[in-house]
């Protein structure tokens, strides 16, 4: 039995959204239902996905499922830091494949502006080992700066190549009304920005945001009644790595992404070269370069060359993050994976507007939790 995505929705990603988490989730849920033939009462279960401690609500699944009118159907809370809603899609897929449920809503959210940037960094740092790592400054920028330095030393990757990832991101964000930053940046602006964690500068880093996303899954029989343009889940890979980066054997890539990609490709019965469009977890510019290597879009060490030659632009070898990615769209942790999936679904339906990749048949979503702790790769097919 095949499983399809029948509806996708998202709120704009922004700072200080001025609304509650249940209203955020309602807006994404309503957006997902707009163009499909489905009533909330027909949904069998919901998965609410976020990282805890950014707002005061405990057990948000109960609050949100009630607000969306989904009770008394079961609801579950899913958390794998930045990859929470991709994990939610895997769980929802499993519910349907096992025949426990026919239709499942996966709703990801985060409202990060209720606390200061310093407090956000402290909470994100707790995604690392709170005894031996995060107290010593290994926040997210520092962790990815370490990867960038290792990549530069081993492969000769340059700060200019990192900056070109952001230049591409800013170009495509202009066409995404959901993106937080919609301004094209020059290479010089990116290179001259203030340093955050050397070699990463301000524009090499994604920004905290408020936002929500929604992905509605259904079994094959239901899907064909709900929509004329279902997008099929062809492959799913999910892995984890050591929490402590001191135990890692590779600092120039993410082992969890390599393995998750291998699993997803095998399940979908495709190769990296078959992918027409990809959304990868570019929380930092080096992350996109590593992702392209880890997913087999190029050889290890050639990710910098790929962006240098514009091969990740529309019209290139593999268009990557043509919605602006996390770098320009923003990164409301629990909503990010669902937003990435939404982008690829719209591409495969031919509804991506100015950033449509011609003839896109197969899309890939790469969503990472923490500093390479959780790896999620999802292959979707038209």
Residue among 151, 281, 331, 366 flagged as catalytic? 331
Q: Residue 4, Cβ neighbours under 10 Å: how many?
A: 24
Q: Residue 149, Cβ neighbours under 10 Å: how many?
A: 18
Contact, 33 vs 215, CB < 8 A?
no
Active site residue 281: no
For residues 127 and 272, give the distance between their C-alpha atoms in angstroms, rounded to a whole number.
30
Structure tokens given for 270: 């495709």
- In three-state form (DSSP H/G/I as H, E/B as E, the rest C), the secondary structure along 33-78 is HCCCCCCHHHCCEEEEECCCCCCCCCCHHHHHHHHCCCCCCCEEEE
For residues 152 and 155, give the distance between their C-alpha atoms in angstroms, rounded to a whole number.
5
For residues 345 and 351, give the distance between their C-alpha atoms in angstroms, rounded to a whole number.
8
Residue among 82, 190, 205, 256 flagged as catalytic? 82
Give me Rg for the CA atoms of the chain: 19
Matching residue, tokens 């939404």: 342
Q: What is the DSSP letter of 341?
A: H
Angle at 297 between CA 329 and CA 164, to 5 degrees: 45
Nearest to 144, CA basis, from 373, 331, 364: 373
Active site residue 331: yes
Which residues are designated catalytic? Answer: 82, 331
């Amino acid at each position: 039995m095949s499983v399809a995505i029948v509806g996708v929705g998202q709120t704009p990603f922004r700072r200080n959204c001025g609304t509650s988490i249940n209203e955020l989730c309602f807006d994404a849920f309503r957006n997902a239902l707009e163009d499909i033939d489905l009533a909330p009462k027909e949904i069998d279960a919901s998965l609410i996905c976020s990282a805890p401690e950014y707002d005061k609500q405990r057990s948000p699944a109960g609050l949100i499922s009630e607000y969306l009118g989904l009770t008394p159907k079961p609801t579950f809370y899913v958390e794998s830091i930045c990859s929470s809603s991709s994990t939610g899609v895997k769980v929802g897929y499993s519910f349907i494949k096992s025949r426990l449920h026919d239709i499942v809503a996966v709703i990801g959210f985060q409202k990060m502006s209720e606390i200061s940037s310093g407090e956000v960094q402290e909470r994100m740092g707790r995604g690392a080992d709170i005894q031996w790592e995060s107290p010593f400054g290994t926040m997210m920028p520092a962790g990815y700066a370490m990867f960038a330095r290792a990549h530069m030393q081993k492969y000769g990757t340059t700060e200019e190549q990192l900056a070109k990832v952001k230049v591409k991101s800013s170009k495509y964000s202009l066409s995404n009304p959901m993106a937080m930053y919609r301004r094209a940046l020059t290479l010089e602006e990116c290179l001259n920005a203030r340093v955050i964690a050397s070699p990463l500068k301000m524009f090499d880093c994604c920004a905290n945001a408020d936002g929500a996303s929604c992905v509605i899954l259904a079994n094959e029989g239901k899907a064909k009644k709900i929509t004329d343009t279902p997008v099929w889940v062809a492959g799913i890979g999910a892995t984890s790595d050591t929490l402590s980066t001191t135990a890692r054997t590779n600092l120039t890539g993410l082992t969890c992404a390599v393995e998750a990609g291998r699993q997803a490709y095998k399940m979908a019965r495709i190769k990296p070269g078959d992918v027409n469009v990809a959304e990868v977890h570019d929380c930092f510019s080096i992350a996109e370069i590593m992702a392209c290597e880890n997913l087999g879009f190029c050889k290890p060490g050639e990710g910098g060359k790929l962006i240098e030659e514009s091969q990740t632009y529309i019209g290139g070898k593999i268009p990557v993050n043509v919605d602006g990615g996390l770098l320009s769209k923003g990164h409301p942790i629990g909503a990010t994976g669902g937003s990435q999936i939404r982008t690829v679904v719209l591409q495969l339906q031919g509804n991506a507007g100015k950033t449509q990749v011609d003839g896109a048949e197969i899309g890939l979503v790469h969503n990472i939790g923490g500093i390479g702790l959780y790896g999620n790769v999802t292959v979707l097919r038209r």
